[in-house]
């Protein structure tokens, strides 16, 4: 059998799900399907922090030792939704200080809508909610951005 040519995946087909732990399993955190439809997802990267160490007698360089991983905030964008359970979750955290950390699962899909890769984010909670500028000179959809903090993610090939 000939080797199959694999192209880099396209980034427009993906799913986002937020789940919470109930008993020994997980259930979807938001009942409305539209709450989980986003036009973009950003923040799936990791940087490894390093610490410099100068060795006595070695003047050409300093050793760089790995310390810990650092993850940016997750940023989700979509058209503004009315009566959104996700925004109620955000507002509860931001306005009332009631934080309910969730797990987020972001799955990249192939052209047949089958999973290619999955990012499973741990301890996700909202830290910012932004609504785009209203402008009487433009006729465009109002976009909301939801920014969340998370501890780390695990990447799985499916």
Residue carrying the six token digits 């969340």 = 148
pLDDT in tens, 43-70: 999 999 999 999 888 889 999 999 999 9
- Torsion angle (degrees, nearest 10) of CA 43, 88, 129, 122: -20
2 or 8: whose pLDDT is higher? Answer: 8
CATH of the domain at 60: 2.30.110.20
What is the extent of the structural domain holding 89?
Answer: 14-157
pLDDT grade, residue 5 (50/70/90)?
low
pLDDT in tens, 87-137: 999 999 999 999 999 999 999 999 899 999 999 999 999 999 999 999 999
Q: Is residue 9 part of a domain?
A: no
Q: Is residue 129 part of a domain?
A: yes
Q: Is residue 52 part of a domain?
A: yes
Asked if residue 79 has pLDDT above 90, the reply is yes
Q: Is residue 4 part of a domain?
A: no
Domain count, the chain: 1
């Amino acid at each position: 059998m000939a080797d199959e040519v694999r192209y880099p995946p396209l980034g427009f087909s993906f799913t986002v799900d937020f789940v919470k732990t109930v008993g020994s399993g997980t259930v979807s955190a938001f009942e409305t399907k539209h709450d989980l439809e986003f036009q973009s997802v950003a923040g799936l990267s990791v940087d490894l922090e390093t610490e410099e160490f100068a060795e006595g007698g070695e003047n050409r360089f300093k050793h760089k030792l790995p310390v810990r991983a650092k993850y940016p905030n997750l940023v989700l964008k979509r058209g503004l939704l009315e009566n959104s359970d996700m925004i109620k979750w955000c507002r509860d955290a931001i306005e009332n200080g009631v934080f309910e950390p969730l797990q987020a699962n972001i799955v990249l899909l192939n052209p047949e809508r089958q999973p290619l890769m999955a990012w499973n984010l741990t301890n996700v909670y909202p830290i910012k909610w932004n609504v785009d500028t209203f402008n009487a000179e433009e006729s465009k959809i109002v976009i909301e951005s939801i920014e969340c903090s998370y501890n780390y993610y695990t990447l799985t090939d499916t």
